[in-house]
């Protein structure tokens, strides 16, 4: 396997680029990073599903008691509190969805690096290739910060503001 033109595959460098061994180590690192990010994405997905299932099971029981409430004051105080609390599944889900989107983007960048570092893709212009990839990744990450603004400002269980224009 040739790397940076040295062609030895023994881990040495010709002085003009990274050695085969260092590229291989980087490739292994990116593979492990990709695997970890993928696991985190899946775990967030599972958490979202658990929260959704819990709410789906809770809501019918919660709303089925409608007939016991008086029409003049349909929402008793304890139920008002419960309503506010239940809405945090929706809010949490939005935050988790954003976290998943960020991780998906990170994984995409890591996978690009991993592919470039694969021994079969090593070439004499590895440094230039990697430099371009890193620049592109930095741009993409900057875009990610701009396009995935945190959508939810709530940090406590209080209800939100209301205004008529």
Partner 1 sequence: MKTILTVDDSPSIRQMLAYVLSSNGYKVIEAEDGEQGLEMAKATQADLVLTDQNMPKMDGIALIKALRALPNYKKTPIMMLTTESSQALKQQGRDAGATGWMVKPFDPEKLLEMLKRAFAQTTA
Q: How far is the CB of 157 from partner 1 (least distance, A)?
A: 8
Report the distance separating Cα 56 and Cα 96, nearest Å. 18
> What would the 3-class secondary structure string for 36-65 be?
HHHHHHHHHHHHHHHHHHHHHHHHHHHHHH
Q: How far is the CB of 127 from partner 1 (least distance, A)?
A: 43
Subset of 51-80 contacting partner 1 (CB under 8 A):
55-56, 59, 62-63, 66, 69, 71, 74-75, 79-80
Subset of 122-161 contacting partner 1 (CB under 8 A):
151-154, 157, 159-161
- Angle value at C-alpha 113, between 131 and 100, nearest 5 degrees: 120
Q: How far is the CB of 89 from partner 1 (least distance, A)?
A: 6
Report the distance separating Cα 99 and Cα 64, nearest Å. 34
By the criterion CB under 8 A, which residues form the site for partner 1?
55-56, 59, 62-63, 66, 69, 71, 74-75, 79-80, 83-91, 93-94, 151-154, 157, 159-165
């Amino acid at each position: 396997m040739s790397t940076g033109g040295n062609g030895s595959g023994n881990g040495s460098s010709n002085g003009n680029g990274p050695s085969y061994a260092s590229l291989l180590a980087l490739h292994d690192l990116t593979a492990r990073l990709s695997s970890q990010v993928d696991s985190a994405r899946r775990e967030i997905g599972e958490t979202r599903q658990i929260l959704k299932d819990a709410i789906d099971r809770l809501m019918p029981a919660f709303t089925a008691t409608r007939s016991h409430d008086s029409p003049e004051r349909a929402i008793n105080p304890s139920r008002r509190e419960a309503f506010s609390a239940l809405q945090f599944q929706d809010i949490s889900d939005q935050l988790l969805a954003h976290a998943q989107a960020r991780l998906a983007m990170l994984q995409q960048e890591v996978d690009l690096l991993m592919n470039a570092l694969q021994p079969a893709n090593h070439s004499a212009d590895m440094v230039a290739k990697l430099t371009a990839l890193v620049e592109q990744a930095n741009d993409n990450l900057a875009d990610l910060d701009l396009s995935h603004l945190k959508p939810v400002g709530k940090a406590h269980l209080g209800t939100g503001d209301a205004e008529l224009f």
